[in-house]
Amino acid sequence: MEKLPLGLALDLRKVVPYETGSWRTLLPVNIMQTPPCNHGCPAGNDIRGFLRTLAEKKDYEEAWHVLTRTNPLPAICGRVCPHPCEDGCNRRDFDSPVAINSAERAVGDYGLEENLEHKKLIAARKEKVAVVGSGPAGLSCAFHLAKRGFQVKIFEAYGEPGGMMRYGIPSYRLPNYILRQELDNIMKLGIELECNIKVGVNIPMDQLIQHYDAVFMGIGAQRGLLIDVPGQDAGNVFSGVEFLREVNSGKYVDVGKDVVVIGGGNTAMDCARVAKRLGANVSVVYRRTRVEMPAITAEIDEAMEERIMFRYHTNPVKIISDDDKVVGILCVQMELKEPDASGRARPVPIAGSESVIPADMVILATGQAVDYDGIEVHTRDNKWISANEDLMTSIEGVFAGGDAVLGLETVSAAIGQGTRAASAIEDYVDGSVESRLASPPVIYSKDLNTYYYQKTRRFQKEALPIHMRLKHFKELYPALDPEAIIDEAERCFSCGLCFNCGNCFMYCPDNAVKISEKAGLYEFDLDFCKGCGLCAKECPCRYIQMTLEK
Amino acid sequence: MREQSKYLEGVDKKDLFASGHRACGGCGQALAARLVADAAGENTIACVATGCLEVFSGPYPDPSWRIPFLHSLFENAAAVASGVDAAYKALKKGPVNIIAQGGDGSTADIGLQSISGMFERGHNVLYVCYDNEAYMNTGVQRSSFTPYGAWTSTTPTGNTTRKKNMPMLAADHGIPYVATATVDDFRDLQLKIRKALTIVGPKYIHILAPCPLGWGHHGELTVEICRLAKDTGLFPVYEIVDGKVTNVKKIPAKVAVEEYLKPQGRFKHLFKKGVPAKEVDEIQEIANQNIERFNL
């Protein structure tokens, strides 16, 4: 036996530790969970993923690639999305939610500035897919199919691609060049585009079904729905969609002095704000109150800032015209009674409260519908296309998505549908059964240990001052500061995914948390872990959870 | 390989107090001992008094220590450490970090004379007290660190005396450095150990180390309980440099003592009738006095 120095009972370098792992009844495990932002995103974006990439690596390029894995239009969504992700953000209960929408815009803009390109997953396949409509749903479907090697051709009814993003969203919210650039970037995947072809009119649907392996219909809701008001066939009465299309096509529209917009949805807000920029005094007529308005709250706020007059509890009765030109609109005051089927209070007219609002133009933004010209599919509620879980319509091999299926929804919802349809089409063409993994449970703020997070201020994007907004159609929110966005990304809690805080590593009384040699991630040394649960308790983002020992 | 986490800058993890010790799950003392050993580094001699720490970390042939380790009697860890210091001086060897370690019993009750002697003679020794507020090793008997109202096996209706204020007692020996720390703030704890080891002369660091078994809480709450002890004001965290109290850790948001007492089994009898007993008010008074005294 080797002789040890005086006083030393044994060589400490040769000690074989006693394995305490057998004491354990509970076992810590690393479980990646769904954060509420990802859960709430209709487009299915990996929001936590791109925010963490920004925060940890400060790498906009990689963040763009994370984002465009699901969403081909980040710069657009970063501008127009009503961001349900932020409503879910667990930071809401702590201080204020992360400004995800602004971060998305900054990442999208970076991609456009640096001309980043999408990567194809599979080089080429011989199957062909026709996509009808180049709105967000159609583009997203085409994008995902082209990435997987399909030969995709898009048919667009109007002169330029983009659907409602081109003809429905005013350019102070979404500048045309941004749309153009993101579109070009998608087309670089080898997607063919043919404009001015209206399927069902210029080319029969059956021809597409015969020539292509599958068809996707993202035809949107392009037809303005008018309410029954006498006198609406006078000149200067537009539907909301029509009015926005005219303006966005670059035509000169004479709005006159007074414009009355009827309706309380997003289209109504857009119409009102566009008319204001064209120099008119605008009032919005809505039969309920602000609370019941279906428009995005921020849009209503901005419209109010721009001195747009809101007349609540008011309903149009008759459009008064003189010599085929609108001069005013007769309205009646309403009072709200018990809720109707949609859950909103039911407006009832008050007798004898009629008044006339002068108007040179009336815009009826009172709903939209699908334009079924030459297309015969089964419908739902006689309005929207009916589609099954895989988004297939009543015609074999024809899929549909976006507003035409969902009813009036957002750009991101349409993108999400396009993505789903692309997966379904791939499965349909391959004849395989869809095998998607169920997503793990969602993390809510009660699950988190927020002790380890610091309270910080939320990034606030600066709008142009009001006097500078109304003269032109320039973008309302100027470019964002990339450094400030990285600071904002660092506010992300990283709910349900390790962000390398090291608490488990430092707090384990048994040193049973090691850094794995290969990946450099924290892992448990089950030979020594006693299952006390300290790591799980002190894990800020609940990536570590205790399960029963098998 | 991921880079070293930015959250762990200025923190040492060398595993000089290794896995395989027999402490209970979630043991605050085991956690504290590792943090102390890692902060002190390889050039360290640990002189450990009898107690839980020695029992669970020292059995032959698989001790957890990867630094030289000297086991002494319950009462004389400080005296043994003084001897090590004297030997190094006589042999003209060193410098070496000498850390005497003991639980609250061996610090405040049985070993107080040898600690006092070590302080008075001015040995270059750091004394670390792991305060778990009773004699846990022998079955939860009351020590002079047991707080007011706590159950122990020798105070079945609750302790009737207040906790001895050992940091102040140490400081009044006129030693250059005294500090208190808790295991939840490992950065602060390691900083204090490193700071103490740069100072020549006797030093004293008092670490609150919850005992899941004796305090009657689940092992996963060890860190949480420490945090509550700080935030209620029951365990003030501060440093005393050359007799002056400095670097007092302010309480970010004051918490009522009930929050601290309720998760612990040793205070269960105070809430037996559904309403807090009068002792709770007394404990709140202790916390308030601390807050006022140290301006927490």
Tell me whether B15 touches chain A (CB under 8 Å).
Answer: yes
Label residue A444 left, alpha or beta by phi (over 0 means left) and psi (-120 to 50 means alpha): beta
8 Å CB contact of A17 and B18:
yes
pLDDT at B53: 92
8 Å CB contact of A536 and B220:
yes
The per-residue pLDDT for range A320-357, each reduced to its tens digit, is 888 888 888 999 998 888 887 777 778 888 888 888 99
pLDDT at A326: 87
Lowest mean pLDDT among A146-160, A272-286, A461-475, B278-292: A461-475
User: Which pLDDT band, with edges at 50, 70 and 90, does B2 fall under?
Assistant: very low
User: Environment class of residue B121 by beta-carbon count within 10 Å: exposed (0-12), middle (13-18) or buried (19+)?
Assistant: middle
Q: Measure B25 CA to nearest chain A CA, in Å.
A: 5
| Span A508-528, average pLDDT | 89
The per-residue pLDDT for range A39-83, each reduced to its tens digit, is 999 999 999 999 999 998 899 999 999 999 999 999 999 999 989
Return the number of CB contacts < 8 Å for A and B. Answer: 116
Partner residue opposite B63 with nearest CB, options A15, A19, A451: A15
Higher pLDDT, B19 or A252: B19
Q: Indicate the pTM of the whole model.
A: 0.87
User: Residue A325: what are its φ and ψ, rounded to 5°?
Assistant: -130, 135
Residue type, position B211, single letter: C
Is residue B1 over pLDDT 50? Answer: no
Contacts of B219 in chain A (CB under 8 A): 530, 532-534
pLDDT at A41: 93
| Span A248-261, average pLDDT | 87
Q: Measure B161 CA to nearest chain A CA, in Å.
A: 31
8 Å CB contact of A519 and B220:
no
User: Which pLDDT band, with edges at 50, 70 and 90, does A436 fall under?
Assistant: low
Tell me whether B263 touches chain A (CB under 8 Å).
Answer: no
CA distances for B258 relative to A35, A139, A187, B183, B227, angstroms: 33, 59, 65, 21, 14
- Give domain A246-365's CATH architecture: 3-Layer(bba) Sandwich (3.50)
8 Å CB contact of B18 and A451:
no
Tell me whether B76 touches chain A (CB under 8 Å).
Answer: no
Annotation: CATH topology of A38-116+449-488 = Fumarate Reductase Iron-sulfur Protein; Chain B, domain 2 (1.10.1060)
User: Which pLDDT band, with edges at 50, 70 and 90, does B204 fall under?
Assistant: very high
Polymer length of chain B: 296
Give the count of beta carbons closer than 10 Å to the beta carbon of residue A311: 17
The per-residue pLDDT for range A6-17, each reduced to its tens digit, is 777 777 778 888
The span from the CA of A21 to the CA of B249, in Å, is 37
Tell me whether B145 touches chain A (CB under 8 Å).
Answer: no
Residue of A nearest to B64 (CA): A17
Mean pLDDT for chain A? 89
Q: Measure B120 CA to nearest chain A CA, in Å.
A: 28
CA distances for A458 relative to A103, A541, B87, angstroms: 12, 20, 60
pLDDT at A520: 78
Residue of B nearest to A17 (CA): B20
Q: Measure B157 CA to nearest chain A CA, in Å.
A: 29
Contacts of B64 in chain A (CB under 8 A): 17
Give the count of beta carbons closer than 10 Å to the beta carbon of residue A123: 6
Return contacts of A311-316, CB within 8 angstroms, 24+ apart: A311/A283, A311/A284, A311/A285, A311/A286, A311/A357, A312/A286, A312/A288, A313/A287, A313/A288, A313/A289, A313/A347, A314/A285, A314/A286, A314/A287, A315/A285, A315/A287, A315/A347, A315/A349, A316/A227, A316/A229, A316/A262, A316/A285, A316/A362
8 Å CB contact of A507 and B19:
no
The per-residue pLDDT for range A138-158, each reduced to its tens digit, is 999 999 999 999 999 999 998
Is residue A283 over pLDDT 80? Answer: yes
Angle between the B112-121 and B77-90 helix axes, to the nearest 10 degrees?
30
The span from the CA of B139 to the CA of A450, in Å, is 36
Contacts of A18 in chain B (CB under 8 A): 20-22, 62
Tell me whether B212 touches chain A (CB under 8 Å).
Answer: yes
Contacts of A519 in chain B (CB under 8 A): 1-2
CATH class of A128-222+370-430: alpha beta
Residue of A nearest to B227 (CA): A451
Contacts of B26 in chain A (CB under 8 A): 509, 530, 532-534
CA distances for A253 relative to A246, A265, A278, angstroms: 7, 22, 8
Tell me whether B42 touches chain A (CB under 8 Å).
Answer: no
Partner residue opposite A17 with nearest CB, options B62, B212, B219: B62
User: Which pLDDT band, with edges at 50, 70 and 90, does A296 fall under?
Assistant: confident
Contacts of B62 in chain A (CB under 8 A): 15-18
Contacts of A53 in chain B (CB under 8 A): none
CATH number listed for the domain at residues A18-32+498-548: 3.30.70.20
The span from the CA of A199 to the CA of B5, in Å, is 56
Residue of A56, A455, A534, A544 to mutate, testing the B interface (most B Cβ within 10 Å of its Cβ) = A534
User: Residue A102: what are its φ and ψ, rounded to 5°?
Assistant: -65, -40
8 Å CB contact of A532 and B19:
no
Q: Is the peptide bond preceding residue B95 cis, with omega within 30 degrees of 0?
A: yes
Tell me whether B156 touches chain A (CB under 8 Å).
Answer: no
- The alpha carbons of chain A give a radius of gyration, in whole angstroms, of 28
The per-residue pLDDT for range A365-414, each reduced to its tens digit, is 888 888 888 788 888 877 888 888 888 998 888 999 999 998 888 999 99
Tell me whether B274 touches chain A (CB under 8 Å).
Answer: no
Q: Measure B48 CA to nearest chain A CA, in Å.
A: 15
Q: Could you report the predicted ipTM of this complex, rounded to two decimals?
A: 0.92
The per-residue pLDDT for range A221-244, each reduced to its tens digit, is 888 887 888 888 887 888 889 899
The span from the CA of B265 to the CA of B227, in Å, is 17
Residue of A530, A539, A544, A545 to mutate, testing the B interface (most B Cβ within 10 Å of its Cβ) = A530
Angle between the A176-187 and A100-113 helix axes, to the nearest 10 degrees?
60
| Span A171-175, average pLDDT | 90
**Which residues of A sit within 8 Å Cβ distance of B?**
8-10, 12-13, 15-20, 23-24, 451, 500-502, 505-512, 515, 517, 519-521, 525, 527-528, 530-534, 536-538, 546
Per-residue DSSP letter, B108: I
- Give domain B6-294's CATH architecture: 3-Layer(aba) Sandwich (3.40)
Contacts of A531 in chain B (CB under 8 A): 25
Residue of A nearest to B35 (CA): A506
Q: Among residues A473, A403, A500, A420, which one has the least CA distance to residue A135?
A: A403
Work out the percent of chain A whose per-residue pLDDT is above 70.
99
Residue of A nearest to B13 (CA): A506
Q: Measure A401 CA to nearest chain B CA, in Å.
A: 41
One fold for A38-116+449-488 and A246-365: no
8 Å CB contact of A509 and B13:
no
Contacts of A534 in chain B (CB under 8 A): 26, 219-220, 222-223
What are the extents of the domains in chain A?
18-32+498-548, 38-116+449-488, 128-222+370-430, 246-365
